[in-house]
Structure 1
Amino acid sequence: MNHLMTIDGFLMYLTSPEGSIFNPEWQGLFQDMSQPLAHYYISSSHNTYLMEDQLKGPSSVEAYIQALKRGCRCVEVDCWNGANGEPVVYHGHTFTSKILLKDVITTIANYAFKASEYPLIVSIENHCSIEQQEVMARYFRDILGDMLLTSTLDGGVASELPSPEALKRKILLKGKKIGNEPESFTGEVSDEDEAAEMNKDSLASESPPTDAKKSKQNLCKELSDLMFCKSVHFHSFEHSCTSAKPDEMSSFSESKARKYSKEAGSDFVLHNTRQLTRVYPSGMRTDSSNYCPLDMWNMGCQIVALNFQTAGMEMDLNDGLFTQNGRSGYVLKPEILRNRERLFDPEKPEEREDYHPLLFSVKVISGQQLPKVKQKEWSIVDPLVRVEIYGVPLDQAKQETKHIDNNGFNPCWNESLRFTIHTPELALVRFVVEDYDTASRNDFIGQYTLPFTCIQPGYRHVHLLSKDGMSIHPSSIYVQIKITEL
C-alpha cells in the first residue's frame, strides 16, 4: 500500500471541515459563559413579529419561529389592546396585521430553546390598558411557567447581572417597571418607548421639540413584577455611572447611538461594561432595512436589534458574528470592551497598550460550481470575488478581483488581496461573489462572513451561502490565507 491520495480523495479533503476557512475549534461552544450578561453580544431582533415592512406587511408567529431557529436571543413583542379583552401584537398606528399575544407567547415557549439553551430576553413594548395588562401577566405566567425568571437568582441586590450559564433555559422579560412608588396596585411610568423615539426621528429638524412632555401610562403591578430588566430613560453617562442598577436597560435609536459613539466614545464603552444597551433601527426605515451593526458592536452595545426578515450585508454580519461559539446567540465581547481600567476607543485603536496590527493576505485562487443567477438556459456567469473587512473605522476596507468571462463551473483568478487589520478582535471578513455586468449592477451569487479571529490560515475552501444565509453547496471558492504580524 502506497499511502497515496487520489485526486478525488484530495478534493474531498479540501472541501471537508478540516479544509474550511472557519477554524473548527471555534465552531463549538468554546467561550467562558460564566461572566455577567453585560459582557456578551446577544443576537437580537427588532419588531420580531413582522414578516415584511413596518407599515402594512403581515405580522406572524412564523417570524418568531424563524428568528429563534436562527439563534436569536432577544425578541420584541409590541402589545396593544385587542377585541374581547385579548391583547394583540402588531406595529401600532400602522396597517400591519394583528396577531394574538397568547399565540406569540405560546410560540416563544415552544421554540425558545430549540437553537440555544442560553437565556432568551423578551423585550416588551406595552401599550395596553390595566385590564389587558392583567391578561398579559396571566399569559406570561401560565404559558411560560418555570421558564420565566422574574428576579436575580440570589434574590438580593447584585452588583452585576447573572451570567448566561446561570440563566440557562430561562426567559427574561424586559419592559417598564414600577419604581419604589407607594402605589398598591398600579404605578405611573413615563412612556419611554420606540414609538415616541420614532416620532422624534421623523420630525423635521426645525419643528419644536416634542419630547419635553412625556406621556404617562398606568402600569399594572402583576405585569411589572414579572420584568427581569427594567426599561429606563437614559439621562447621561455620568448619571448611569453613579446611579444605574445592573438590571436597568436603555434603548437607543441607531441615530442616538451613533451620536453617543461620536461624542462620548470611551464613556459609551465604559457604560456598556456594566449596563445592557439596546439599539434599534430608525423609525425612518419603514422598508425594514437595517443599519450596520458593527458601529454599535465596536462600542460594546450588546443588544443590537436588526430586522431579521431583511437579507443583506447587515444580516450577513450578524450571522457571521454569531456563527462562532456553538451558534448559541451569545458571544463574549473582546477583553478590550470588558476592561474598565483601560478604556478602548474604536477611533484610536493604535493607542491601546497591546497594539499589534496584522497583515491579512488573501490569494483568491478559484471557484467551484457557482450557481446561475439568471434563469435563461444559455446564461453563464462572469464571476468576481470581493473581500470586505468590517471593524473599527481604520479597518473598513474592500478589494476585488477582476471578473472571469463565461465561467461559473471552475473560474480561476489567482489574484492576491492584502489588508492591514488594526483590531483583529472586532473585525469580520465577508467574501462576496458577484456576476459582473457592464450595463447594470452586478448580480449577487453568494457570500460567506466570519469573524477574523475564527479564520484558519492555509489553503482553504469558503463555502458560499445564499442571500438568506442558506448553504448553496457545492458552490465555493478556494483561497490561500496568510496572517502575519506587521
Structure 2
Amino acid sequence: MNFKEVQRLLKMMNVDMNEDHALRLFQDADKSESGTLEGEEFVLFYKALTQREEVLSLFQEFSEDGKKLTLLELVDFLREEQLEDVGAEELAMELIDKYEPSETARARHVLSADGFLMYLCSPEGSIFNPQHRALWQDMSQPLCHYFISSSHNTYLIEDQIRGHSSIEGYIRALKRGCRCLEVDCWDGPNGEPMVYHGHTFTSKIPFREVVSTLGKYAFKTSDYPVILSLENHCSMEQQEVLAQQLKDILGEQLLTTTIDGHVPTQLPSPEELKHKILLKGKKIGRLEDTLDGPGDEAPDVSDDDNGAEAEEERRRAKKDRETLAQALSDCVIYCKNVPFRGFQEARSHSRPSEISSLSEAKARKLIRDEGNEFVRHNAWQLTRIYPSGMRTDSSNYSPQEMWNVGCQIVALNFQTAGMEMDLCDGLFSQNGCCGYVLKPPFMRDEETLFNPSDPSSWAGPGPIILTIQVISGQQLPKVANSKEGAIIDPLVRVEIYGVPADQAHQETKYIENNGFNPRWDETLQFQIHVPELALIRFVVEDYDKTSRNDFVGQFTVAFANIKPGYRHIHLLSKDGTSIPPSSLFVHIRITEPPGPEQD
C-alpha cells in the first residue's frame, strides 16, 4: 500500500488527517523504506493510527514503570476509579486472565497497556452494569408491579393506513423481548377470521397464522408470560373460530383458568405465569361467575353493594352475552377489558383482574390532573396506553411520561425507529431482556404519596449529581446518504428522561472532520431527583450549520444500570442494532446527596 492508497483508506475510515502527520506515521511504519507498507509494516501503521493517547496516559497514571500494571496497581485503579469495592482482587485476577494478550505477563499477573485497553473496551469496561444484563430482579410480585414491554398493532410493519400486515411484525417484536402484542380481528372469507387494521387499506393475514407464530416464538427470548391484546370485530360465528384456533394451536400455553382455581385478590406474578399466554379482551360477567360455572349468573350482592349496582352488573353481562361468544369470553382470565370511569369508581368496584386501555391524550390529562391517584391505581391494576389515532404514520409518543405514573403496558409502534423506541430498548435491555422490569418501591405501594409532577412528594434526601466527562469517540460510522467521502463533524448530546424536573439535555462542541478518533474532553453535569425512573440517552450527531444535524449513533441506559468510572459506551444504530467498533469513552461520577447529619 503506497502513501496515496493509505490516504484514500483514511478517508474511507472517516478520518481527515493532516497530510504531514499521516506521512510521518507512514514513514515510521515503513521499516524497509520501500515507499509501501507490507504485512507487519501495515500492522505497525494501524497500531500507531489507533494509539489511544487518553487511555495510555490513564494507564501510566497508575503504573509505576509506565510499562505494566501490577496486580496491586490494577486493584488500586479498580477501587479508586471504577468503584469496584467488593472483590476487587478477584476481579483484577479475572481481567488479567481474560484480557492480557501476552502469556508471560499473564503468568506474572500483570496487565500490559494492550490488555488494559482490551479490558476497557470489554463488557466489564462498559457503562452498562454486566450483572444487570442477566435476570437480576425479583419476579415473584404481582404482574401490575412491572413495566411490560408492549407493542401497538403488532401486525403492521409500516404505516397505519396502507402498510403491510405481516407475521414478521410479531416475530420481530417477540425477538426484541416484547411481552404484550396486539391483534385486530375481523370476519374473513370461508369462516376464517383475518387480522388487519379495519377501515384502512392495510393488507390482511389469517388469525390462524398469527396464533401459530405466537405459539412458536412466544418463549424464545423470554420465559415470562405474553399478553395477547385482542381487538375483536368478528361476528359470533367467527368468534367461535377465534376461540377454537387459540385452544387448538396454543394448547397448554393458553391460560384458561386462574392458577389456583380461586378468585384472585391480586394478580399472579410473572414467575407463576411462566410459559403462559394470557388473552386480554372483553368478558361476559365476572371472573367468579366463570369459576362457579356459567349457571351461577346472578352476582352475589355483598352488604356494601346496593341492589342497583348488582342490577347494572346483570344488565351489562346480558348485553355482552348478545355480542360476545361464551367460548371466547372463557379464554379471558386475568385481563378483562373494562371501560375506565375514573379512579374513584375503579377503587370501589374494579378487580385486580380487570384492565383499562387509555389513549395517550386521555392518559396525559390524568397525569396532569390526578398524578398521584394514577400511580396508586397502577400499584394494584394494569393500565394499557395506546397511540393516538392521528398517528397514521406509525410515529410514537414518549413512553416516559406514562412510566412516570406506573402505567405497565405502554404500547409503541415497534416498527418505527427513534428516541421513543430507544427509551423502550433502554429500559428493557436489563433484567435478561425478559420484557418485565420491576417498578421502584414507591410505585408499588397503594397508599404512595408519589406524584411525578410534585417535587414535595419525592421522599429522597435531595438530587443526585451525575457528572459525565465525554472524553473521546472511536471509529464512528459515516452518515448514510452523505456526500461522497464526506467526513463527519461529531458532537455528543446527553439527554435525561425522567420526571418533569429531571428532563434535560446538554451537548459538547463539535469536532471538525474526525469520525475516527475525535477528542472532546468536556464535562456535562445533571441533577437527578428521581434516579429510579431516569433514563440517560447518549446521542452522536454530525454537526451541520445549514440544516438539521444528522444522526450517527446512540445508546440509552436506565440510571439504575450505570457503572461509574472510565467506561466505554458501545453505540447502536437508528434501529437499535449494534455498530461495532463505534464507541464513546467517558468518565462517570455519581455524587449522592449528603445523608442526614449525625448528632
Q: Same fold (TM over 0.5)?
A: yes
**Deviations 1:256-308 (Å, cap 9, x if unpaired)?**
00011111111111110111000000000000000000000000000000000
Kindly indicate whether the alpha-carbon contact (under 8 Å) linking 1:33 and 1:163 is maintained by their aligned counterparts in 2: yes
**Deviations 1:424-479 (Å, cap 9, x if unpaired)?**
00000000000001111111000000100110000000000000000001000000
Kindly indicate whether the alpha-carbon contact (under 8 Å) linking 1:350 and 1:422 is maintained by their aligned counterparts in 2: no
Distance 1:6 1:405 in 2: 33
How far apart are 1:376 and its partner, in Å? Answer: 4.5
Distance 1:173 1:144 in 2: 11
Distance 1:102 1:479 in 2: 50
- Alignment match, 1:209: none
- Alignment match, 2:453: 347
Kindly indicate whether the alpha-carbon contact (under 8 Å) linking 2:428 and 2:436 is maintained by their aligned counterparts in 1: yes
Q: Within 5 A, what are the aligned runs for 1:95-114? A: 95-114=201-220
- Alignment match, 2:330: 225
Larger % of strand: which?
Answer: 1
- Alignment match, 1:424: 531
How far apart are 1:215 and its partner, in Å? Answer: 11
Distance 2:441 2:127 in 1: 24
Report the residue type matching 1:224 in the other structure: S
How far apart are 1:25 and its partner, in Å? Answer: 1.8
Residue 87 in structure 1 maps to residue 189 in structure 2: no
2:391 aligned residue (285, 288, 291): 285
Residue 479 in structure 1 maps to residue 586 in structure 2: yes
Q: Within 5 A, what are the aligned runs for 1:397-476? A: 397-476=504-583
Kindly indicate whether the alpha-carbon contact (under 8 Å) linking 1:362 and 1:417 is maintained by their aligned counterparts in 2: yes
Residue 396 in structure 1 maps to residue 503 in structure 2: yes
Kindly indicate whether the alpha-carbon contact (under 8 Å) linking 1:152 and 1:161 is maintained by their aligned counterparts in 2: no
Match of 2:378, SS? Answer: helix
Match of 2:201, SS? Answer: coil
- Alignment match, 1:190: none
Residue 297 in structure 1 maps to residue 407 in structure 2: no
Distance 1:358 1:284 in 2: 38
Distance 2:329 2:274 in 1: 23
Q: Within 5 A, what are the aligned runs for 1:208-287? A: 218-228=323-333, 229-287=335-393
Q: Within 5 A, what are the aligned runs for 1:103-142? A: 103-142=209-248
2:163 aligned residue (57, 72, 77): 57
Q: 1:285 to 1:173 in 2, by over 3 A?
A: same
Report the residue type matching 2:432 in the other structure: G
Distance 1:215 1:437 in 2: 58
How far apart are 1:78 and its partner, in Å? Answer: 0.3
Q: 1:437 to 1:82 in 2, by over 3 A?
A: same
Report the residue type matching 1:257 in the other structure: A
Aligned length: 459
Distance 2:376 2:269 in 1: 19
Larger % of helix: which?
Answer: 2
Q: 1:215 to 1:441 in 2, by over 3 A?
A: farther
- Alignment match, 1:203: none
Report the residue type matching 2:574 in the other structure: K
**Deviations 1:370-402 (Å, cap 9, x if unpaired)?**
011145442101000000000000000000000
- Alignment match, 2:102: none
- Alignment match, 1:157: 263
Distance 1:396 1:174 in 2: 34
Q: 1:216 to 1:295 in 2, by over 3 A?
A: farther
Match of 2:323, SS? Answer: strand
Distance 1:85 1:397 in 2: 54
Gaps of 5+ in 1: 188-213
- Alignment match, 2:21: none
TM-score normalised over the length of structure 1: 0.92
- Alignment match, 1:334: 440
Report the residue type matching 1:475 in the other structure: S
Match of 1:255, SS? Answer: helix
Kindly indicate whether the alpha-carbon contact (under 8 Å) linking 2:281 and 2:332 is maintained by their aligned counterparts in 1: yes
Distance 1:19 1:231 in 2: 46
Choose 21-30 or 64-73, whichever is displaced more.
21-30
Kindly indicate whether the alpha-carbon contact (under 8 Å) linking 2:357 and 2:386 is maintained by their aligned counterparts in 1: yes
How far apart are 1:155 and its partner, in Å? Answer: 1.1
Kindly indicate whether the alpha-carbon contact (under 8 Å) linking 2:460 and 2:529 is maintained by their aligned counterparts in 1: no
How far apart are 1:341 and its partner, in Å? Answer: 2.9
Report the residue type matching 2:207 in the other structure: L
Kindly indicate whether the alpha-carbon contact (under 8 Å) linking 1:433 and 1:446 is maintained by their aligned counterparts in 2: yes
How far apart are 1:4 and its partner, in Å? Answer: 4.3
Gaps of 5+ in 2: 1-104, 298-318, 594-599
Report the residue type matching 2:134 in the other structure: G
Distance 1:358 1:326 in 2: 27
1:168 aligned residue (255, 258, 274): 274
Distance 1:57 1:277 in 2: 27
Kindly indicate whether the alpha-carbon contact (under 8 Å) linking 1:337 and 1:343 is maintained by their aligned counterparts in 2: no
Report the residue type matching 2:327 in the other structure: E
Report the residue type matching 1:242 in the other structure: S
How far apart are 1:5 and its partner, in Å? Answer: 3.0
**Deviations 1:112-139 (Å, cap 9, x if unpaired)?**
0011000000000000001000110100
- Alignment match, 1:207: none
**Deviations 1:311-333 (Å, cap 9, x if unpaired)?**
00000000000011111000000
Report the residue type matching 1:259 in the other structure: K
Report the residue type matching 1:447 in the other structure: Q
1:385 aligned residue (467, 492, 517): 492
- Alignment match, 1:365: 471
Report the residue type matching 2:562 in the other structure: I
- Alignment match, 1:204: none
Distance 2:272 2:417 in 1: 33
Report the residue type matching 1:269 in the other structure: V
Choose 387-396 or 343-352, whichever is displaced more.
343-352
How far apart are 1:6 and its partner, in Å? Answer: 2.9
**Structure of higher CA gyration radius:** 2
Report the residue type matching 1:326 in the other structure: G
How far apart are 1:485 and its partner, in Å? Answer: 1.9
Residue 143 in structure 1 maps to residue 249 in structure 2: yes
Choose 340-349 or 20-29, whichever is displaced more.
340-349
Kindly indicate whether the alpha-carbon contact (under 8 Å) linking 1:349 and 1:355 is maintained by their aligned counterparts in 2: no
1:18 aligned residue (102, 124, 137): 124
Kindly indicate whether the alpha-carbon contact (under 8 Å) linking 2:192 and 2:206 is maintained by their aligned counterparts in 1: yes
